[in-house]
Structure 1
Amino acid sequence: MGTLIPWVLAILVASGLKGSVKIVKEKEEYLIEGLGSYRRKLEPGLNFIIPVYDQVVYKDTIREKVLDVPAQSCITRDNVSITVDAVVYWRIMDMYKAFYKVENLRDAMVNMVLTQIRSEMGKLELDQTFTARTEINEILLRELDIATDPWGVKVTRVELRDIMPSKAVQDSMELQMAAERQKRANILTSEGHRDSAINSAQGDAQAKLLQAEAAKKAAILNAEAEQQAIVLKAQGERQEQILKAEATAEAMKIVMEKLQNDPNAREALQFLLAQEYLEMGKEIGNSGSSKVMFMDPRSMISTIEGVQSVIAQNNNTSNSDRTPYNPMELDLERIKK
């Protein structure tokens, strides 16, 4: 019996020492009570407590947690029933408040989130719940963070996952979307027809304008070409007349020189004049139109005699004045006589 007591004491001391050592993991905290009252908080690492007197009443992590909020039914401002679920990211900032300020922190968080979701959805119409999801998340985050601050909790993010209307509402929305798509299709079709008509009209107008401009340019070019042709023709006729006049003057000069130097050239001149006179009559008779020509044989002789008198007078004048005769300076008054 005497030897048993030391062993019992040794066992009690070992168990007491074991119960007095507490190893707290990183990102975790323990709350210690002594005789029913709060004493202290154990930080991560090696900690010692008084066996039997100190007790660990609560331990939890301070890392960020995910709270899965179950789907719930909500009524929008336009009296449409929808089902909404969400997910909340949060963490414990003060372990003392999380344990002593609220009973069952997780259930309290779920009920708080559900209440805030119902409140915010009741402020919006059905269409706004789909388009303003980001704004709703920001409002829920702000409101939940303020509401859970007394519990030592920090809400870091709130996300609405699914917003599901009732079956009847879904059917109505599908019909509305089908009608809206049909309306857009009709509008696009009518706009396409309108644009096509406008483009066709603009194309026709542009084509007519181009045709008018082309016709105008063609008329201008034709007028310029005709004007140029008239100018060139007039210049050609003028040049031809000048050349004929020069040729006639040169021929008369040669004839006058021959008449002055050769007395027998007068008979040859008379013969040439008579021949030219007869050729002229022949050409007139061979023309396409019908003509009647009265020719007096005596006129031929008088013409030739007139030419002979002119030549004789010019010779007398040239002999008396001793000035060379210029065939281009014929005295018209003497020819008339």
Structure 2
Amino acid sequence: EIKNLTPPAAILHSMQAQITAEREKRALIAKSEGQKQEEINLAEGLKQADILKSEGEKAAAINKAQGDATATTTIADATAAAVRTVAAAIASEGGMLAANLKVAEQYIAAFGNLAKTGNTLIVPSNLTDVATVVQSAMTILGQKNAAAQPTTKP
């Protein structure tokens, strides 16, 4: 029966070198796997950050577009209501006289603004007659109203 077997020193040294090499190999593998996982985690983090950033930009663009659409709709509704109110006022008694007055006021204000600036304008001579300009504007307005009225055929 052999109780104690001591291999020669060269074999012990060789066995020790093999064990050390195996440990170093496992350490290198573990280190490289750790580096690999670190790079994967960093790439995944960057990917998620890019996705979240683009989703945020998308949501911001959608919100802006919806806000712009709402603003446009609100302005259009207000303009339509204003046009209906003006049309009703013109159709009421004295409405055409009020429209004539408003056109004359705007005409005078426009000419007043032209006088404040250094513009050179060539205008027809009859533009100095406010009544003629107002009458022309009202004639055009009357023609537009007549064209807009539905015609009934007998």
- TM-score normalised according to structure 1 size: 0.33
Counterpart residue number, 1:264: 97
1:206 has 2:40 as partner: no
- Give the counterpart of 1:255 among 86, 104, 119: 86
Aligned residue number for residue 242 of structure 1: 73
Higher strand fraction (1 or 2): 1
Answer yes or no: is the 8 Å Cα contact 1:260–1:315 preserved in 2.
no
Q: How does 1:97-246 map to 2 (within 5 A)?
A: 129-130=1-2, 174=6, 176=8, 178-246=9-77
Q: For this pair of structures, how many residues does the alignment match?
A: 137
Q: Distance in 1 between matches of 2:78 and 2:120?
A: 29
Task: State, as a whole percentage, how many aligned pairs show the same letter.
Answer: 21
SS of the residue corresponding to residue 96 of structure 2 reads coil
Stretches of structure 1 lacking an aligned partner (at least 5 in a row): 1-128, 132-162, 164-172, 280-293, 322-337
Higher relative contact order (CA 8 A, sep 6+): 2
What letter is aligned with 2:82? A
Cα drift, residue 295 of structure 1: 7.7
| Alignment pair present for 1:312 and 2:142 | yes
Secondary structure of 1:201 counterpart? helix
Deviation of 1:223 (Å): 2.2
Q: Match of 1:271, as an amino acid?
A: E
1:270·1:304 contact (CA, 8 Å) conserved in 2? yes
Alpha-carbon displacement from aligned partner over 1:162-198 (angstroms, at most 9, x marks no partner):
x9xxxxxxxxx6561x444433332222222211111
Alignment partners' CA distance in 2, 1:273 and 1:226: 48
Question: Aligned-pair distance for 1:274?
Answer: 7.3
Q: Deviations over 1:257-290 (max 9, x none)?
A: 22222233212245358768x99xxxxxxxxxxx
Q: SS at 1:130's partner residue? A: coil
CA RMSD of aligned residues (A): 4.1
1:240 to partner: Cα distance: 1.3
CA distance in 1 between partners of 2:27 and 2:75 (Å)? 70
Cα distance in structure 2, aligned partners of 1:224 and 1:318? 49
Q: Is the 8 A contact 1:259 1:265 kept in 2?
A: yes
Q: Following the alignment from structure 1 to structure 2, what is the Cα–Cα distance between the partners of residues 210 and 245?
A: 52
